[in-house]
Amino acid sequence: MTSENPLVALRNAAEAVRQQLQLNSYDETAVQRLDEFIETQRATIKEEDREGVIKALGCFLGQCLVDTYHGTWATGPDATTGVGINGNHFFNPFFRVSQHLALGQKESVAAFFASIPARLAAEPRRKTWI
């Protein structure tokens, strides 16, 4: 028995959300629609469904990062799945969706997505505690 390639599973989950939201691409407009969807649905998501919602919507947000900012799905230093961009930046879309679901607009996925160009332009911070 072979298991599904994790990259294929991530993309399939993202595609399912894209179709559900009736979007044509994985771009800033799509993330804005995702933001609106999270805001309208967050109060109605049952606790037992929360993890699955985070996974599905996180895959979608991650694919938007991949397509818009030329990232790649990767494993982070803490073994989490996320998106690497330019070899210096790693973003966890599942965490971002979880935060938006829990805390609302102050952790907006659209605001996070819009902040990516500035984050990419900034010099990577060096760890000074080593």
Question: How does pLDDT run across 43-88, given as a tens digit for each residue?
Answer: 999 999 999 999 999 999 999 999 999 999 999 888 899 999 998 8
Tell me if 1 is assigned to some domain. Answer: no
Tell me what pLDDT residue 124 has: 65
Confidence of residue 96 (pLDDT cuts 50, 70, 90): very high
- Asked, for residue 78, whether it belongs to a domain, the answer is yes
Residue 127 located in a structural domain: no
* pTM assigned to the model: 0.91
Q: In angstroms, rounded to a whole number, what is the distance separating the alpha carbons of residues 87 and 84?
A: 6
Residue-range definition of the domain harbouring residue 33: 6-115
Residue 41 maps to a domain: yes
> Do the domain assignments include residue 30?
yes
Rg of the chain, C-alpha, whole Å: 15
98 domain-assigned? yes
Residues 59-95 as b or e (16 or more Cβ within 10 Å = b): bbbbbbbbebbebebbeeeeeebbbbbeeebbbbbbe
Number of structural domains the chain divides into: 1
